[in-house]
Amino acid sequence: MFTIERKLLIGGLLVWLGATIALRLAGQHLLHTNGGMEILGLFAASFPLMALLARRLCYRFRLPRERWLLGAVSLTLPTLLLDAFSSAFFPLVFPNIQPQMAGVFGGWMLWCCAGAFAGVMLGRSVDS
């Protein structure tokens, strides 16, 4: 039987896989060197969206509030582990994105994970 955290880990892996495929296909439209304001907007939108996603998934899976941080770790672990390699081998993983965007990509992934952690740690309960 799968624990809730294991389900969140699998969900995180599926999110990572889908996002990686999407970036491989069309990432050049999202991450490019002449998009400074676009990148700031991407970061600004990603943090609260990941916070909301993590909170909603923990709530939907009826994870007890004291285990939400563990749930967020489970959800983001695939990104933290696998995108280290995506950043290190950026031109191979994302040949359509300018190689100098590897650092922005790595920072964006950390920002997304931080959003998920903040989302489960801060604020009121989803059900209140």
pLDDT in tens, 43-68: 999 999 999 999 999 999 999 999 99
Q: Are 24 and 96 in contact (CB under 8 A)?
A: yes
Q: What integer is the mean pLDDT of 11-40?
A: 93
On whether residue 55 sits in a domain, the answer given is yes
Q: What is the average pLDDT across 80-109?
A: 97
> Using CA atoms, how far apart are residues 59 and 120, in angstroms rounded to an integer?
10
* Residue 2 belongs to a domain: no
Tell me what pLDDT residue 128 has: 46
pTM of the predicted structure, to 2 decimals: 0.90
Band of residue 6 on the pLDDT scale cut at 50, 70, 90? very high
Q: Does residue 48 lie in a domain region? A: yes
Q: Is 58 domain-assigned?
A: yes
Task: Give Cα separations from 5 to 50, 107, 127 (angstroms).
Answer: 17, 25, 20
35 belongs to a structural domain = no
Assigned domain for 124 exists: yes
8 Å CB contact between 74 and 12: yes
How many structural domains comprise the chain?
Answer: 1
8 within some domain: no
Domain assignment present for 5: no
What long-range pairs does 100-105 form, CB within 8 A, spacing at least 24? 100/33, 101/31, 101/32, 101/33, 104/31, 104/39, 105/31
pLDDT interval class at 1 (50, 70, 90)? low
Output 75 or 125, whichever has higher pLDDT.
75
Domain of 86, in residue numbers = 42-128
